[in-house]
A and B are shown apart, each in its own frame.
Chain A
Amino acid sequence: MRKLLSSIAIAALATTALHADPGGGKGQGGGKDHGNGGAENRGGNGNGGDKQDRAQGGGKSDHGPVAVREDHGKANGKGDRADGFKNDNGQRQVKHDWTEGRSERDNHDRLVRDNRDMGNSRGIWSEYDQRGLVNGCPPGLAKKHNGCMPPGQAKKSNFDRYDRNWWGLRGLNNTSGYRYVDGNLVRLSSNGSVLSYYPLLGGALSVGNPWPSGWQSTPLAPYYANYYGLDNDSRYYDGAIYNVAPGTSIIQKIAALLTGDTFNVGQRMPSGYDAYNVPYQYRNQYADGPNANYRYSDGYVYQTDPKTQLILAAIKLLT
């Protein structure tokens, strides 16, 4: 039985809404320098210029320690803030960042802490997933072939014709038009050389392979490292967490799969959580009832209003 160290964002948060607005064109926290050497229609470094209209705010530049800030009553009732979190009819906002335990606290300490943790994870996942193709030649292919020319027919795949949703990928801008080469989806030039690539789970991103050099290290929020029991360097990439050997950047383990869904207290539960799915060890504690339902995703249990489907609280599950 896991020991539960729960922290619950207080329910009835009609006055607290955190808008990460995934994929909706607004509200992500303005990250840049997320490590990709190139980007697919993203202005070269993965932010801005995204045809999927995920406009970036002008905020922080990376995932390093930045104090969390809570802004009470500063909402103007409409529009987006420079830090990327959208105001909503005068509701209070919380700006999030990776660093746990840092905040300018007030008498809503408990609430702030939990909302921040939620925003951390959800905002970051979707932000990461905007990175797109890496410019250049996949490391493995560069060593094996001159001029970054893809190998012959034997290395081609009949799965080339399937789109990003078939592959289960979040980070590709265009739905189709990629080729599969040596564990990557790639874009080819008119002469057939590789222009850019997207490393794939189970392909280039396999246990024993080096982390692609075009991707800089990106930290995993401490909560997730704790929840999934990861001690070493752990990195998120397109719905999966990889454990990487310190120093060598060799992938040691594919440690977790994630939905990457966005959950915000005060907003409706995302679609796709119609059935009770709380892990076994928490079922007695978080059972559906007339006043609350509970759903699990990516290391959290979410308490929802059975009638409105609004998320009332996020509950951390730590071992």
Chain B
Amino acid sequence: MMRFAHLFAAAALLALPACSKPAATGEAASTEMAKSDKSLGDVIGGDGQFKTLAAALKSTGLDGVFTGKGDYTVLAPTDAAFTALGDKAAELTAPDQNAALAAVLRSHVVPGMLTTADIGKAIDANGGKPISMRTMGTGSVKFARSGADLTVTADDGATAKLSSAGMSASNGAVLPIDAVLKKF
């Protein structure tokens, strides 16, 4: 747990106001993100709810991906989501387990820019049924409605709620989620 606490404490950084608006499907579906000049790495690193994620990206070297030119959507577990892992968080963020951490992180990345509005429209177009999006792991995630919320479920059944409408970046989008999308 010490390493986890260390990562948490050592993480960045400049606080950007995160969009705290819930990702309610009706409203989110009509809300487009504003254009941002900040990279995904800067948006994640500058948001106070992603300190653990930002530290994890740095320790695995994946921060270079999100400050580069490729476009991605990061399903971003909040600090509370990592905390909810309990002892697994400490294990996952241990210095000699960066490969496992990278494996977890890549399954939280979707190609291109995906907004909650896009997700809502796709679910509508699919008759209200869940829709699937590819990840940078070997599988996909499914987005669905759960009451007024949007949820995302990994292939292994790990599920999270989209906790806000997210933030745009110059090279994609960040969609905060309230759980880590990986079963341990």
Contacts and interface: CB of A to CB of B under 8 A. Distances in A.
**Interface size, B (range):** 35 or more
B97 A159 contact: yes
A1 to B, nearest CB: 10
Contact of B134 (A207, A278, A297): A297
Nearest to A129: B138
B interface: dominant SS:
mixed
**Listed residue (B64, B109, B132) with the most chain A CB atoms within 10 angstroms of its CB:** B64
Nearest to A259: B134
A190 interface: no
Interface string A165-187: 11111100000000010111000
A273 B113 CA distance: 12
B43 interface: no
Nearest to B61: A207
Interface string A116-134: 0000000000000000000
B35 to A, nearest CB: 6
Contacts of A183: 96, 98-99
B134 A165 contact: no
Contacts of A246: none
B65 A256 contact: yes
Contact of A259 (B35, B60, B65, B136): B136
A261 B134 contact: yes
Given A159-B97, A299-B70, A271 B112 contact: no
A interface: dominant SS:
loop
A31 to B, nearest CB: 21
Interface string A283-300: 100000000000111110
A43 interface: no
Interface in B99-138: 99-103, 106-107, 109-114, 118-119, 121-122, 126, 131-138
Nearest to B101: A202
Contact of B133 (A170, A202, A277, A298): A277
Given A202-B62, A272-B132, A277-B111, A168 B138 contact: yes
A180 B100 CA distance: 9
A103 to B, nearest CB: 27
**Listed residue (B61, B131, B132) with the most chain A CB atoms within 10 angstroms of its CB:** B61
A3 to B, nearest CB: 13
Interface string A34-61: 0000000000000000000000000000
A82 B99 CA distance: 39
Given A201-B60, A275-B121, 13 more contacts: A157-B96, A167-B103, A168-B103, A202-B60, A227-B70, A229-B68, A229-B69, A255-B68, A257-B136, A271-B134, A274-B122, A275-B133, A279-B112
Interface of B: 33, 35, 60-62, 64-65, 68-73, 91, 96-103, 106-107, 109-114, 118-119, 121-122, 126, 131-140, 143, 155-156, 168, 170-172, 182
